[in-house]
Chains A and B, each alone.
Chain A
Amino acid sequence: MRLSDAPKGANAVVQSVSDAHPADPIAQRLRDLGFVAGEPVRLVARGPLGGDPLLIQIGSTRFALRKSEAARVDVLVEGAA
């Protein structure tokens, strides 16, 4: 499941980050920030207008990511298959 589609408050684990296009700097930055396989993440809140951006917690750090950015992150939500 894409991180942008994850239910609010659910715990998830990063599977991979995919490049939207070759040499995607946004995907590279996400990986630099710790979005790599095995890291636990949680969607904490959604922005007020159109549910964008998203507040993502990874480790003890919180990042605001736009939906399009979070869509690059593939996650496995706990409890879901």
Chain B
Amino acid sequence: MRIALVGNPNCGKTALFNQLTGGRQKVANYAGVTVERKEGRFVAPSGRTLHILDLPGAYSFEATSPDEAITRDVCHGRYPGEAAPDLIVCVADATNLRLHLRFVLEVRRLGRPVVLALNMMDAARRRGIAIDVAELSRRLGVPVVETVAVKRGGAKALIARIDESVPDIVPAAIDQASVEQLHTEVRSILAATVTTSRDTVAIDDAIDRWALHPVFGLAILATLMFFIFQAVFSWAEPIMDAIESGIAALGVFVTGFLPADSALHSLLNDGLFAGLGAVLVFLPQILILFLFILVLEESGYLPRAAFLLDRMMFRVGLTGRAFIPLLSSFACAIPGIMATRSIQDPRDRLTTILVAPLMTCSARLPVYTLLIAAFIPSRSVWGVFNLQGIVLFTLYFAGIFSALGVAFVMKRLRKDKSEHALIMELPSYRLPNVRDIGLGLWERAMIFLKRVGGIILALTVLLWFLSSFPGPPDGATQPAIDYSIAGRLGRMLEVIFAPIGFNWQICIALVPGLAAREVAVAALGTVYAMSGSDDSVASQLGPLIANQWSLATALSLLAWYVFAPQCMSTLAVIRRETNSWRNVAVAAGYLFGLAYLASLATYQIARALS
């Protein structure tokens, strides 16, 4: 049997889905977390296997955004390659029935078996909302069960109900009810079944008075963002030092058993430990960044930030709704670009997709922090800030401001100037759940480690081969890498990149770095380990480049990484989400163009000043 979960945005469908299927789909506290259909299954107590479909939230079947259209099509049985569900579990937030019941009525009119799950019943009770479930069920003509999706066992009643029997279909009283008629029906049902002490939660009002205040609201937002960047730098340091020395010790231990001039010794020492180790040390920073993003997502603050920034974003041709996709792009542009599905206006959506790669994703952190730690002195500024933290903050802002600039240019180029919509729901605040945050961090750590063990490992080994063969001729005076394929390729590329200050080692690293940004750090580790005579391992890459590069080169490489689309997966997801190679070409073209120009300017200015 196929069961679809539908309901208004942010009513807890995905939490319920996870509860039923044991899945770990992303949940957060804002509308539009789920933007595609997700499938899972579970075995009911009766032994039947049930297929559960989690759908994006929708306010109405009159879809206004791509994610709502998916829900509409699946429910109507019009989704390509998918039969209409046998049972619809309509999920409604018990604290927000006035809004959610209307969609329940719309779903009921589909003429399919429906069960209503009243979710967040714990919150409703706390707020003093009393619901006469039996009467509600009688009036709606569908079975109603109470659920608390975020609590273990909170879906018990729902499981029991769907396992029992498929409920009868309620014939719709009227086929084509007007909006007003639906609302009238909602009002009469509410009047008969729900008693509420007050409309809002006092704590929400109190927080919003400050969080949305014209002056304090913006100040809080700016402080919060700045604090995050400072924390990413300063909190991670002790853990990174520990990882660094751990990897170095392990490298010495493992390679100690091998003859020092063997190929295997070189592969392990120069390839694995120098390459992978260089990337691995950034795990703590990435996790700290995610800790903040997850807490913000769960708390319900993100839509508030979108509210505060909407006007500014609108002026440059974006929308406040773009804030959440763009903020997720700080973690990674791929989920960020997918999250744009909750943006209704196709023009706003395209602009957001094209500027999302300018947000500093976590894959840039290894590159940034490697260079900052090597070239920027760790000095305190005005007693409170760390100069390294300030440089990092500046790099993030360089990305943000260029995104605003690019969006503005796109707005100017656009012919269609009709109105754009915002209309965005602000959820109730919620205390982040420690277990969910922990799981989210664990998941991110796994993703990162898989990347290190997968694509980064593969490319590093490949690069080691290319830098080792062909071997140097007899009587060679230069390091072996100079005679290898990679060495020659690097020298060729150096011609193009010399004006922006990149040496041939950087040029080599940029090539595998096209696949993913962190690879460049691993590649630099390998390239320098190969060209050095001493046993340089991961921990020494920083001091090594600090000796060999000029400050201008380092700054130029930082500028390059603000813009360059060194990530195949991002380009692939742009292709998938916009269904157009042209957009991929536009994105890659303008980003590489900006990267080269920015690096050129940075390098030439820095050289002129020094």
Query: Which A residues have a C-beta under 8 Å from some C-beta of B?
Result: 20, 25-26, 28-34, 36-39, 44-50, 52-53, 55, 57-66, 68-69
A32 adjacent to B306 (CB under 8 Å) = no
> B484 on the interface (CB 8 Å rule)?
no
The answer for the CA separation of A59 and B194 in the assembled complex, in Å, is: 13
Interface residues of B in 154-182 (CB under 8 A from A): 179-180
Question: With A28-B62, A48-B217, A53-B422 known to touch, is A61 a contact of B212 (CB < 8 Å)?
Answer: no
- Which of these, A20, A39, A64, contacts B310 with CB under 8 Å? A64
- Given the known A-B contacts A61-B99, A66-B310, are A30 and B180 also in contact in the complex, defined by CB atoms under 8 Å? no
Query: What are 20 A-B residue pairs whose CB atoms fall within 8 Å in the complex?
Result: A28-B62, A28-B179, A32-B62, A33-B59, A33-B99, A33-B423, A34-B99, A34-B183, A45-B213, A47-B308, A52-B311, A53-B320, A55-B208, A60-B98, A61-B99, A63-B423, A64-B307, A64-B424, A69-B421, A69-B423
- 12 extra interface residue pairs, beta carbon distance < 8 Å, beyond A29-B423, A64-B426: A29-B64, A30-B423, A31-B180, A32-B59, A32-B102, A33-B423, A36-B179, A48-B218, A57-B200, A59-B98, A59-B199, A63-B424
Q: Is the CB of B312 within 8 A of A49?
A: yes
Residues of A contacting B96 with CB < 8 Å? 59-61
Report Cα–Cα, A33/B303, bound state, in Å. 17
Interface size class, chain B: 35 or more
Note all chain B residues with C-beta closer than 8 A to A69.
Answer: 421-423
Pick from A20, A29, A57 the residue with the most CB of B within 10 Å: A29
Q: Give the secondary structure class of A's interface.
A: mixed
| Contact among B102, B199, B303, B310 with A60 in the assembled complex (CB-CB below 8 Å) | B199
Known contacts: A53-B422, A60-B199, A61-B425. The answer to whether A31 contacts B310 by CB under 8 A is: no
Min Cβ gap B347→A in Å is 14
Closest CB-CB distance, A77 to chain B, in whole Å?
18
Within 8 A of A (CB), among B204-251: 208, 212-215, 217-218
Knowing A53-B320, A63-B425, A64-B307, the reply to whether A26 touches B214 (Cβ < 8 A) is no
Chain B residues within 8 Å of A68, by CB: 419
Min CB distance B179 to A, Å, is 4
